């Protein structure tokens, strides 16, 4: 039986009880929310499991019923389940990363056709929005002060010093490679827009709201080199 069908069966049992009670107390609502979040976690990570057995095990454990498996097998089975979950998460993350890298490469290919777009040998693309008056470029070992907004290709903002209303300072060699390379092209007072492929960003890792394999877009204003 497919995992989503199993989830529906388990949810029907649980929701049938919940609907009958109609969340009479705050604890009812909190308990439902906790169970929902656990189910949502498995669903969002595409973890294959038998939801009926998961629900039954939870109820039996809560009621103090006798375990339906040998206690001697429990530790080995728990280890198997944890390994199963980890493997599924890794496989799903890699599939998502591969999909995002293909989409990113296609975007970059089209973006490169824009006459205003320049591309470095490493594959970073950039557009000069505003050029500063200085002739001084930072080196990789310099500390810089910048304002920036980072988005995914669909425009979703995942980080922004502009929104926080406060620029940030950091050593240029302690950020993603795309930043280290890209900001060195700038001079104080300039504003560049960068398109950074995943291999120069966070690779196949899932970082917060940044999906694995993502091509990232940054609009960066270089304010100062080696700020006090």
Give per-residue pLDDT as tens, 7-28: 444 444 444 454 445 788 999 8
Judge whether 54 counts as a catalytic residue.
Answer: no
> Does residue 139 register a pLDDT over 80?
yes
Map out the domains of the chain with their CATH numbers: 3-68 (no CATH), 116-225 (3.10.50.40)
pLDDT for res 122: 97
> Does residue 57 register a pLDDT over 60?
yes
> Does residue 5 register a pLDDT over 60?
no
DSSP-derived pairing of the beta strands 168-171 and 143-151? antiparallel
List Cβ neighbours of 55 (8 Å cut-off, separation of 6 or more): 10, 13, 14
* Residue in 14, 218, 220, 225 annotated catalytic: 218
CA distances, 151 to each of 6, 47, 54, 155, 169 (Å) = 37, 28, 38, 5, 20
> Does residue 137 register a pLDDT over 80?
yes
> Does residue 228 register a pLDDT over 70?
no
* Residue in 14, 159, 194, 225 annotated catalytic: 159
- d(Cα 217, Cα 31) in Å, to the nearest integer? 40
Give the residue-averaged pLDDT of 133-142. 96
* Residue in 202, 204, 220, 225 annotated catalytic: 202
- Which residue did the predictor score with more confidence, 123 or 14? 123
pLDDT for res 106: 98
pLDDT for res 23: 80
When mean pLDDT is compared across 8-12, 196-200, 218-222, the lowest value belongs to 8-12
* Residue in 7, 148, 192, 194 annotated catalytic: 148
> Does residue 118 register a pLDDT over 90?
yes
CA distances, 48 to each of 60, 73, 87, 215 (Å) = 21, 21, 11, 29
* Residue in 47, 176, 207, 223 annotated catalytic: 176
Burial class for 125, CB neighbours closer than 10 Å (0-12, 13-18, 19+):
buried
Judge whether 176 counts as a catalytic residue.
Answer: yes
Judge whether 223 counts as a catalytic residue.
Answer: no
Judge whether 159 counts as a catalytic residue.
Answer: yes
pTM: 0.73
Give the residue-averaged pLDDT of 185-211. 96
Over residues 70-102, the pLDDT tens digits come to 878 888 888 988 898 889 888 888 999 999 999
pLDDT for res 12: 47
* Residue in 117, 158, 207, 223 annotated catalytic: 158
């Amino acid at each position: 039986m497919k995992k989503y069908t199993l989830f529906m069966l388990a949810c029907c049992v649980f929701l049938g009880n919940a609907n009958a009670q109609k969340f009479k107390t705050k604890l009812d609502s909190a308990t439902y929310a906790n169970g929902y979040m656990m189910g949502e976690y498995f669903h969002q990570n595409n973890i294959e499991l038998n939801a009926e057995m998961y629900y039954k095990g939870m109820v039996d454990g809560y009621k103090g019923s006798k375990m339906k498996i040998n206690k001697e097998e429990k530790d080995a089975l728990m280890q198997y389940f944890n390994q199963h979950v980890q493997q599924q998460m890794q496989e799903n993350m890699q599939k998502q990363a591969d999909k995002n890298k293909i989409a990113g490469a296609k975007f970059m290919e089209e973006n490169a056709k824009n006459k205003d777009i320049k591309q470095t040998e490493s594959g970073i693309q950039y557009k000069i929005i505003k050029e500063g008056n200085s002739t001084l470029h930072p080196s990789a070992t310099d500390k810089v002060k910048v304002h920036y907004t980072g988005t995914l290709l669909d425009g979703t903002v995942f980080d922004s010093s502009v929104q926080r209303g406060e620029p940030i300072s950091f050593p240029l060699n302690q950020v993603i490679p795309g930043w280290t390379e890209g900001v060195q092209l700038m001079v104080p007072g300039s504003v560049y827009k960068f398109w950074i492929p995943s291999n120069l960003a966070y690779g196949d890792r899932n970082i917060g709201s940044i999906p694995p394999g993502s091509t990232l877009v940054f609009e960066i204003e270089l304010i100062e080199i080696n700020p006090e």
